[in-house]
Amino acid sequence: MGATETHRAIEAVWRIESARVIAGLTRIVRDVGVAEELAQDALVAALEKWPASGIPENPGAWLMATAKHRAIDYLRRGTLIDQKHEVLGREMAEREMQVPDLAAAMDDTIGDDLLRLVFIACHPVLSTEARVALTLRLLGGLTTDEIARAFLSSEATVAQRIVRAKRTLTEAQVPFEVPRGEEFHARLSSVLQVIYLIFNEGYSATAGEDWMRPALCEEAQRLGRILAGLVPEEAEVHGLVALMEIHASRSKARVNAAGEPVLLLDQDRAKWDRLLIGRGLAALDHAVHLGGGRGPYAIQASIAACHARAVTPRDTDWGRISDLYSDLGRIEPSPVVELNRAVAVSMASGPAAGLALVDALKDEPALKNYHLLPAVRGDLLKKLGRLDEARTEFERAASITRNAREKNLLLDRARACGD
């Protein structure tokens, strides 16, 4: 394997393993900023050694072991003692006894470090935007650019949020633990938002060569299931789990053999995972049973369920989907929700009806660089036979998206309008 291929492989491993490494380090050093720096040290070590020695059989374990040694060295240097000078004497006396315990602690499998890390990043000392950005950075391994696109925000703004968030958590000495009682429920909505954004980044990657990042979807689903076990009476947790399970059921049908995107109405529904659909529908039923079927995640899960229950695209109840998006828009107003409602209206009442709703969104500031706005408009214009306009919209959408697969799909659709 050449140096370029090795570096790409290392990047792929880092995407998958970085969250676990940072979470494990945070439990030891009690500082997410320091933990991320130590994890980056382990990544640098991999970049230096693996091109010559080859990628280890278990690269995740190698990164964790290297990071563990960095953490122990950090504590031995007395940095942690300097930060907690009020207990300097006691820690100095206990230092030699602590180091072996630290090594064992890094391998501790009791509890869930990733879940603890989510709750730290979602601490109320941070703004909602900072909580989401920091958790996507630490758990999702996303770049600031990718997070910015998920937020429909600027990269500089998100970068500032992340730096300030880590500094604030350090100054507040936030404990590395899952909160209890009222504090748990107060932070739960932010945690759900974070998990869903991580899932979305895996389901439709904002940038890069791949249409999907399955590892991120799986991690979000895992965290969602853990939450559902921790708070079985919280309806919206089950609503989110239902939403993720049903969406994930389509994964194998969302790309063709060449890795190119396949749009929902063109997918081979025989490839949809019936087990995941069953799990999702069961979670949705449980959310409704708990009286929470009208929460934002449960509503979105109900929309997904409409697709899951349709044997063919023409069997889809687009009228109900349109109504559900209206319900969602009332409790969580958003131009993105309105764009999705426009698609449903176009399917239920015709492309002209949908186009009227889309055109009303053209001047929305939040959608200025949102590639799906011109993509949807192009699709509706094509259905109306306005091919030149449709081609222009598809080309504009292609110029905005940062995902290579999606860009090619949009350019193909643009070319089709010219044939």
Q: What is the reported pLDDT for 246?
A: 98
Query: What tens digit of pLDDT does each residue of 98-115 get?
Result: 443 444 444 443 347 877
Q: What is the reported pLDDT for 153?
A: 77
The first and second tokens of residue 107, run together, are 């391998």
The first and second tokens of residue 189, run together, are 């909505």
Residues of the chain with pLDDT under 50: 80, 87-89, 91-111
Q: What is the reported pLDDT for 82?
A: 57
Q: What is the reported pLDDT for 102?
A: 46
Q: Compute, in degrees rounded to 10, the torsion defined by CA atoms 79, 83, 89, 90.
A: -90
Q: What is the reported pLDDT for 205?
A: 81
Contacts of 168 (CB under 8 A, 6+ apart): 125, 126, 130
Q: What is the reported pLDDT for 95?
A: 42
Helices (H) and strands (E) in the chain, counts: 20, 2
- Angle of the 214-230 helix axis to the 181-203 helix axis, nearest 10: 160
Q: What is the reported pLDDT for 317?
A: 97
| pTM, 2 dp | 0.74
CATH fold, domain 338-419, is 1.25.40
Q: What is the reported pLDDT for 154?
A: 87
Q: Which residue has the tokens 């934002």?
A: 296
Q: What is the reported pLDDT for 100?
A: 39
Q: What is the reported pLDDT for 110?
A: 33
